Chains A and B, each alone.
Chain A
Amino acid sequence: MTMSLHELIRSDYESRIIGGFLAPGDRLPTEQALMQTYGCSRMTVNKALSKLLSAGLIERRKKAGTFVAKPKVHSMVLDVPDIAVQVHERGQAYAYRPLRRLVRPPGEDEEERLLAASGMLMQIDGLHIADGAPLGAEFRLVSTDAVPAIVDADLDTLPPGSWLLQQVPWTEAETRISAVGVAGDEARWLEVSAGTPCLCVERRTWRGEERITYVRQLFLGHAYDMVARFGPGAPHG
């Protein structure tokens, strides 16, 4: 195994950062210290550091030193997107059509009981529409315990997801993405035949220990995709 020294230094730190052993905000040793540790010149150290810099893994703060950078993440499983914003970003007109809305006690389902806690559930079903055509259907439950204001919220034009993002800061989100063939009511709402492939997104969000909402979204496979980018800046092309 032959490897140049600057490659070794770069690879060492890349592995430590990506492996999680150095966290965002951790300070890297000074150039002097690195020169000493690896027994090399300042030029070698700088060559390694500039590769880590351009990879977005570290950042230089004037007078303070070199630190592990906070990852610029936009990840489909780590983020809670605003559908209305996403549709606009694609250059399409967004509309929300409410389908069903009621306050009810939780059913037998464990999921519903945990979400309701000591209160009720607001069930909000609706349709996401892009340029006049259905894009996705949404089945949502919100805890009235955690978000009492949801009961009287104006959700006729603003989708509940967007309303929640604006009103309720979340601290934890769990997302599952799968592919399913749409069935029954949902196929009719989406104006497609049963079995049409759809991207199914299930998400649970918390604020601290408190569950806020559970949502199941079905997006038409041919009309919707989820994009995630990792690394510095947005790719071109």
Chain B
Amino acid sequence: MSATGAAAMVPLYEQVKAHVLRMIGSGELQAFSRVPSENELVRLLNVSRMTVNRALNDLASEGVLTRTAGVGTFVAEQSVRAHPLQINNIAEEIRRRGHRYHAEVLLLELACADQALAREFGVHPQAPLFHSIVLHHENERPIQIEDRYVNPVVAPDYMSADFTVETPNEHLVRVAPLQRAEHVVRAANPDPDQAQLLDMAPGEPCLVLRRRTWTNEIVASFATLLYPGSRYEFAGRFTV
């Protein structure tokens, strides 16, 4: 965090608040989650303790956080249901269940849009796209194959990201403001490679989610997420 140049126009404590709010808005911190300690934030954001303290106190008086002396600072309970634009984050979902998460990056390369991808992205055939395949694990067991294409225009640093530290979704949420999303869910048989990667039983079907997201009116990302049918379901409860 810099106190020079253009950033000097923005008070540092406001930048700290923005950082915490982004962690909440992206789903990285959920209601009742503990917010990183003041010391941790001082180290992470390279600001003074006084700055962090002011930011957290501000957010507490706004009702976003609750601070309890000797216990810690937590995200306050939201009185409203989370906005539907809060895109599911597999890493956070797994951690929220109290399980261990880790990612294995199977592929990260520059690719050319074929006819189908050109159509999905609204770009010319052969246009460059970033392509990543990540195998997400829950308690050391594979739970999702994420095969994702990204428009380099919205995420120019995608290829230098470390997806064992930050998921592709987290990277995109950070660099590209989400505008809208389209999900298509179906059931299908995995191919033999996919079945093996996901440690599936013979004949077991997959839950397939294809997700397209837009940023600034362009298709930012197109991902195919594959889950083993016996170990995953989508669930939701809605009150009118």
Q: Which residues of A contact B (CB under 8 A)?
A: 1-5, 8, 10-12, 14-21, 23-24, 38-39, 51, 54-57, 71, 73, 75-79, 170-181, 195, 197-200, 219, 221-222, 224-233, 235, 237
Contact = CB atoms under 8 A, between A and B. Distances in A.
B205 A197 contact: yes
A228 B78 contact: no
B97 interface: no
B207 interface: yes
Contact of B183 (A4, A20, A76): A76
> Chain B at the A interface: mostly helix, strand, loop or mixed?
mixed
A18 B83 contact: yes
B84 A177 contact: no
Given A175-B236, A231-B214, 14 more contacts: A4-B6, A5-B10, A20-B83, A21-B78, A56-B179, A76-B234, A172-B237, A172-B239, A174-B238, A179-B206, A200-B187, A222-B188, A230-B84, A237-B119
Nearest to B121: A237
Contacts of A56: 179-180
Given A21-B78, A221-B186, A179 B229 contact: yes
A222 B205 CA distance: 12
A156 B90 CA distance: 43
B10 A3 contact: yes
The residue in B25, B188, B235 that gathers the most chain A C-beta atoms within 10 A of its C-beta is B25
Contact of A221 (B7, B9, B82, B205): B205
The residue in B45, B84, B181, B203 that gathers the most chain A C-beta atoms within 10 A of its C-beta is B84
A225 B21 CA distance: 35
Contacts of A11: 18, 21-22, 25, 177
Contacts of B187: 179-180, 197-200, 219, 221
Contacts of B214: 231, 235
B15 A1 contact: yes
B164 interface: no
B25 A14 contact: yes
